[in-house]
């Protein structure tokens, strides 16, 4: 084999194909290494930012003191701990009384994020109290004054400017006060029947947190308590719950979930682009060496020896690519994180060369090797099994060879993407859809080009080999479309997030508004000119039966909506973000109800069913007229069940709604809160600010990632153009030999490449729409056509390719025909 390796090595490095192959492999290793590393860092940083809203990585909460065994387990797992007790109470001075949300914390609070108070203090001391600005305004106090919380007397030590553990829910009273855990007993506020929540906050390494969470869930599953539900003993989930950052605030985590899908898609598209680049450059390299293989076969070289020599050569190529790719990948990963730190200072990113070298880099090397072998080996084996005389004549590959190469290459790409993204469903869905679409569009393009070729028209002179032209157009379109997909999804995500948080998004919730206060409250809001949602009557009730049949014990056990009281309402219409998906939209009579679609699916409720509810005034029966989707992430009231007007007694409950108060007008809200003292006002502006900040961060992240993936796409376009140049060299040389003028050749190349670019632009639009539709469905985005790309891509690709045909390929017309033919196998 040694006597074969040297001439093969020398011959290979005389061609550009081997260098382009090294470049493609280097990019695959460096790009996927940097992208996976940065993705992992981004996910950790964003998860940490979400944890700051929870003040911890995990929170255990119960309405009873949490068993000390859970603290002991956390201690053994080396997790940080903090205890928080939350309850409602009355805070007052001699003149003013305010219902507040009391949070009793210890010295370790918060475990994530930070409390910002003025004047700055590390922790709340015994006998002191920290007040939110609204509490200060309502009580008319300042730092240094004294207030009472129930029976306890406290000194106002600081004003809360930023509070960790900000969670949204109607059970969370606003305003908020913080006291020390040591002062809970002094308030004497916790009595029999008091609504109180005990929390154990935990933080630590990601692996330890996941292990602790799994152990907790397994324990609860193995030790379910029993409870009485309508006279029957059934297993019910424990009142002890566990929440992670993703469960602490769904409004915050929905954009994060979309980001995770976007990161995985960016990985898959990078893999595809690098795989296409490797495939095209590998095929070019094999084509350039087919004559050399034929010569070796003619002089008696064994197929096995030739194969081993080429495998050793590929190993050398891989080693070179790995060395260069490793350096570039580490540098690119570091540079990308530094760029993100500059542009997105809110993210807490840390560069670890060891984590990069031991994690993403080996995976990128291994999978890039797999992709290379998947695309090169079938072609190499086909050449080795072909008689020398047929190789010398440069006969085209058989259909079976192409199919075998596509099969092995596709399998390697799927494995590559699954390893990098750890998402089998998305990988198979995206890659499978692209392959099917490529096959279908290739067939359509080939048929059209073949028909044009057979027409003998002037246009047919620009289409010499329809199946080759169809392949080039498909490859060119695929590379362009994969870049376009991320740009399209970036715009869709930005629009989606900004639609969820439009200008004047409600930042105040009102809850528990008595019916007799409702007209005056509406008048006050209208007088101030504050934008508001409708005020919805809120009546507590339980869903107890469907079509006069009680729900099964199993269904009751599995669905929390059947084990608790629900907030029921009635209205002429629906919240603006609700969409009817089945049934009629209008209420026509009393005792009709609209049901949230997901709840209906879980409970087996269909349009036309009769539902029974237990209300304060008795049992209510209502017929389901429609199912609707609900945007729970919106900052507006939403309901599982909406009844037709006058079905319920509105005086049996209270009213709730939301409205927007400009920052400069918040002082005007204080007298309104004091006027309606029996109503709960919840300020969600801090949560809203955090989500807006996170959305800005995510938009910057996806913009950077889209730019990074575009680099891989450019290499694909270069690889396609190199294949075009190789084929046109021989054609231009032959046409020049038969007397073709330079002007004619330049015009021919310009129009031919421009025509290919136009078709590729159209095909790329189809690719981009299909892949973006798949990704949109995974991100719960509205599927839509992007008319702008249908205008931009075909036109821009036509102009770009015409310029390339005129100025990059046009130089071929100046090369002497004999010199061009001699250099065909050395280029």
Q: Where are the domains of the chain?
A: 2-48+252-499+692-826, 58-203, 508-682
CB atoms within 10 A of CB 376: 25
Distance CA 101, CA 104 (A): 10
Distances (CA, A) of 303 to 292, 308, 386, 388, 393: 13, 9, 10, 11, 19
Alpha helices in 344-465 (DSSP H): 353-358, 360-384, 388-392, 399-421, 424-454
Per-run averaged pLDDT (10 residues), the chain, 827 residues: 69 72 78 72 68 79 88 91 90 87 90 84 91 88 93 93 60 74 90 81 87 86 53 48 68 62 73 73 70 72 77 84 81 72 61 66 75 74 64 52 63 69 75 81 83 75 69 75 75 69 78 89 91 90 91 82 86 87 91 93 92 89 93 79 90 88 86 83 73 67 66 64 63 64 72 80 83 75 80 85 68 62 50
Contact in structure between 114 and 164 (CB atoms under 8 Å):
yes
Residue given tokens 């080693």 in the structure block:
319
- The pLDDT score that the predictor gives to residue 328 is 80
DSSP 181: G
- The pLDDT score that the predictor gives to residue 236 is 40
Q: Taking the CA of residue 634 as centre, how many other CA atoms within 13 Å lie in the half-sphere pointing to its CB?
A: 21
pTM equals: 0.61
- The pLDDT score that the predictor gives to residue 827 is 46
- The pLDDT score that the predictor gives to residue 438 is 80
Distance CA 190, CA 209 (A): 31
DSSP 95: S
Distance CA 129, CA 143 (A): 10
**What angle is formed at CA 732 by the lines to CA 727 and CA 735, rounded to 5 degrees?**
130
Burial annotation 782-795 (CB, 10 A radius, 16+ → b, else e): eeeebeebbeebbe
- The pLDDT score that the predictor gives to residue 353 is 63
Q: Give the pairing of strands 128-132 and 152-162.
A: parallel
Distance CA 426, CA 265 (A): 8
Q: Helix crossing, 250-288 with 360-384: angle to 10°?
A: 30
H/E stretch holding 776 reads helix 742-779
Q: Which residues pair with 568 in a beta bridge?
A: 539
Q: How far from each other are the two terminal CA atoms of the chain, in whole angstroms? A: 26
Handedness of CA 607, 610, 614, 620 (dihedral sign): positive
- The pLDDT score that the predictor gives to residue 436 is 83
Ramachandran bin of 775, using left for φ above 0, alpha for ψ from -120 to 50, beta for the remaining angles = alpha
H/E stretch holding 752 reads helix 742-779
Q: Which residues pair with 682 in a beta bridge?
A: 509
Kindly give, in sequence order, each residue whose CB lies less than 8 Å from that of residue 529, ignoring residues fewer than 6 positions away: none
Alpha helices in 147-249 (DSSP H): 184-187, 206-222, 245-248
DSSP 532: B
- Structure tokens belonging to residue 759: 């078709």
* The dihedral formed by the CA atoms of 84, 86, 92 and 96, expressed in degrees to the nearest 10: 130
- The pLDDT score that the predictor gives to residue 229 is 38
């Amino acid at each position: 084999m040694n006597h074969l390796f040297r001439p093969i090595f020398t011959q290979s490095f005389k061609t550009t194909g081997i260098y382009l192959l090294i470049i493609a492999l280097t990019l695959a290793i460096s790009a996927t290494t940097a992208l996976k590393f940065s993705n992992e860092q981004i996910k950790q940083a964003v998860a940490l930012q979400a944890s700051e809203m929870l003040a911890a990585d995990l929170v255990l909460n119960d309405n009873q003191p949490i068993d000390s065994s859970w603290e002991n387990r956390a201690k053994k797992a080396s997790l940080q701990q903090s205890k928080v007790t939350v309850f409602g109470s009355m805070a007052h001075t001699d003149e003013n009384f305010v219902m507040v949300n009391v949070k009793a914390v210890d010295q370790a609070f918060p475990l994530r994020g930070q409390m910002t108070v003025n004047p700055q203090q590390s922790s709340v001391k015994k006998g002191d109290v920290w007040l939110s600005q609204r509490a200060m305004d309502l009580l008319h106090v300042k730092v240094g004054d004294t207030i009472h919380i129930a029976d306890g007397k406290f000194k106002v030590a600081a004003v809360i400017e930023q509070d960790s553990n900000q969670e949204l829910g109607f059970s969370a009273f606003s305003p908020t006060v913080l006291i020390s855990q040591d002062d809970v007993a002094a308030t004497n506020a916790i009595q029999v029947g008091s609504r109180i929540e005990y929390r154990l906050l935990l933080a630590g390494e990601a692996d330890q947190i996941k292990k602790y969470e799994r152990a907790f869930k397994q324990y609860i599953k193995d030790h379910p308590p029993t409870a009485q539900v309508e006279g029957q003993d059934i297993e019910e989930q424990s009142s002890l719950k566990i929440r992670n950052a993703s469960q602490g605030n769904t409004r915050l985590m929905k954009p994060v979930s979309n980001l995770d899908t976007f990161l995985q898609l960016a990985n898959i598209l990078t893999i595809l682009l690098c795989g296409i680049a490797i495939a095209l450059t590998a095929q070019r390299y094999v084509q350039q060496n087919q004559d050399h293989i034929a010569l070796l076969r003619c002089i008696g070289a064994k197929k096995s020896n030739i194969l081993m020599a080429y495998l050793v050569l590929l190993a050398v190529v891989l080693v070179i690519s790995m060395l260069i790719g490793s350096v570039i990948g580490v540098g690119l990963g570091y540079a990308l994180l530094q760029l993100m730190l500059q542009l997105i200072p809110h993210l807490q990113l840390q560069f670890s060369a060891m984590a990069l070298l031991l994690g993403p880099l080996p995976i990128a090397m291994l999978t890039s090797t797999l992709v290379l072998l998947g695309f090169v080996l079938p072609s190499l084996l086909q050449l080795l099994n072909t008689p020398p005389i047929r190789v010398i004549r440069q006969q085209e590959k058989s259909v079976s060879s192409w199919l075998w190469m596509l099969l092995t290459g596709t399998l390697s790409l799927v494995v590559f993407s699954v390893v990098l993204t750890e998402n089998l469903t998305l990988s198979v869905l995206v890659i499978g859809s692209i392959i099917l679409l490529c096959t279908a569009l290739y067939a359509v393009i080939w048929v059209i080009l073949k028909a044009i070729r057979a027409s003998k028209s002037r246009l047919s002179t620009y289409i010499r080999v329809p199946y080759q032209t169809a392949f080039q157009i498909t490859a060119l379109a695929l590379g362009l479309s994969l870049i376009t997909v991320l740009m399209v999804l970036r715009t869709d995500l930005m629009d989606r997030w900004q639609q969820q948080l439009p200008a004047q998004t409600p930042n105040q919730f009102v809850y528990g508004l008595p019916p007799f206060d409702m007209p005056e409250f509406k008048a006050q809001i209208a007088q101030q000119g504050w934008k508001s949602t409708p005020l919805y009557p809120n009546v507590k009730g339980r869903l107890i039966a469907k079509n006069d049949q009680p729900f099964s014990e199993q269904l009751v056990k599995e669905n929390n909506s059947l084990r608790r009281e629900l907030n029921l309402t009635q209205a002429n219409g629906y919240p603006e973000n609700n969409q009817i998906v089945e049934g009629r939209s209008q209420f026509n009579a009393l005792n009709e109800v609209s049901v949230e679609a997901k709840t209906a699916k879980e409970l087996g409720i269909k349009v036309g069913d009769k539902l029974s509810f237990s209300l304060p005034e008795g049992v209510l029966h209502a017929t389901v007229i429609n199912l609707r989707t609900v945007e729970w992430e919106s900052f507006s009231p939403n309901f599982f069940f909406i009844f037709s007007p006058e079905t319920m007694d509105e005086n049996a409950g209270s009213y709730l709604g939301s409205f927007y108060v400009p920052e400069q007008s918040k002082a005007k809200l204080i007298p309104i809160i004091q006027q309606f003292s029996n109503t709960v006002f919840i300020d969600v502006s801090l949560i809203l600010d955090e989500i807006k900040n996170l959305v800005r961060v995510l938009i910057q992240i996806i913009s950077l990632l889209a730019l990074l993936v575009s680099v891989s796409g450019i290499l694909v376009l270069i690889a396609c153009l190199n294949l075009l140049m190789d084929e046109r060299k021989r054609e231009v040389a032959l046409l020049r030999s038969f007397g073709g003028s330079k002007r004619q050749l330049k015009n021919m190349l310009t129009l031919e490449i421009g025509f290919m670019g136009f078709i590729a632009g159209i095909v790329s639009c189809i690719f981009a729409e299909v892949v973006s539709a798949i990704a949109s469905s995974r991100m719960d985005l509205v599927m839509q056509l992007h008319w702008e790309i249908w205008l931009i891509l075909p036109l821009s690709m036509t102009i770009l390719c015409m310029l390339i045909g005129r100025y990059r390929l046009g130089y071929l017309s100046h090369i002497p025909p004999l010199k061009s033919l001699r250099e065909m196998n050395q280029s």
